[in-house]
C-alpha cells in the first residue's frame, strides 16, 4: 500500500512540475537534520540520534542520491556543496553503524564532482572519507584523503 501511495505521489509531483523543487526541499531538510544530529553525536543521547538516522536511512540516501545526480551538472555548484555537506555530516552515522562502503561510495562520487566547493566543506568530506577508508584497511586511500584534508585545513588556518 505504501509503495502504491508513494508512486501516486511521485506521479502527481511530476505532472504538476514540482518534482525537482520537492526533491531539493527534501535534500535540504535531511541536510539540516544531519547537521543537527552531528552536534548531538558524542553526547548522552547519541544512541537515540543514531537510531533516528537509521530510521531515516532511505530518506538520507534519497537526498544524497538526488544531490549527487544534480552535482554532475556543470552548472550545479550549490548541489555539489549539498552533496558534500550531507556526506560529511554523516561520518559518525556511517562509522558507528557499519555503513562504511556506502559512505565511501557516496563520498567518492561527491568528491569527484566537488569542483568549486567551499574548501572547509571539502576538507571535512575528505576527513570523513579518510576515516572510512582507514576502518576498511585501505590505508593508501586514507593517507591520500587525510593529506589533502590536512592541507586544506592548514590553508584555512583551522
pTM of the model: 0.86
Query: Does domain 2-155 match CATH 1.10.357?
Result: no
Q: What is the predicted pLDDT for the residue at 6?
A: 82
Question: How far is 56 from 33, CA to CA, in rounded Å?
Answer: 10
Q: What is the predicted pLDDT for the residue at 3?
A: 82
Residue ranges of the chain with pLDDT lower than 70?
1, 71-77
Query: Domain residues of the chain, as ranges?
Result: 2-155
Greatest Cα pair distance, the chain, in angstroms, is: 53
Q: Rg (Cα) of the chain, in Å, rounded?
A: 16
Q: What is the predicted pLDDT for the residue at 75?
A: 55
Q: What is the predicted pLDDT for the residue at 156?
A: 96
What digits encode the pLDDT tens for the residues 26-51?
Answer: 999 999 999 999 998 889 999 999 99
The 3 state secondary structure assigned to 124-146 is HHHHHHHHHHHHCCCHHHHHHHH
Amino acid at each position: 500500500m505504501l509503495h502504491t501511495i508513494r508512486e501516486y505521489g511521485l506521479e502527481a509531483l511530476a505532472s504538476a512540475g514540482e518534482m525537482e523543487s520537492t526533491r531539493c526541499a527534501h535534500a535540504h531538510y535531511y541536510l539540516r537534520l544531519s547537521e543537527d544530529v552531528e552536534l548531538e553525536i558524542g553526547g548522552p543521547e547519541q544512541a537515540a540520534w543514531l537510531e533516528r538516522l537509521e530510521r531515516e536511512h532511505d530518506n538520507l540516501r534519497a537526498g544524497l542520491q538526488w544531490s549527487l545526480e544534480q552535482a554532475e551538472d556543470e552548472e550545479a555548484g550549490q548541489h555539489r556543496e549539498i552533496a558534500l555537506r550531507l556526506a560529511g555530516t554523516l561520518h559518525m552515522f556511517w562509522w558507528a553503524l557499519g555503513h562504511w562502503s556506502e559512505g565511501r561510495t557516496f563520498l567518492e562520487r561527491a568528491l569527484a564532482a566537488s569542483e568549486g566547493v567551499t574548501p572547509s566543506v571539502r576538507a571535512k568530506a575528505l576527513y570523513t572519507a579518510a576515516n572510512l577508508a582507514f576502518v576498511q584497511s585501505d590505508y593508501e586511500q586514507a593517507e591520500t584523503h587525510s593529506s589533502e584534508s590536512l592541507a586544506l585545513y592548514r590553508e584555512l588556518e583551522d
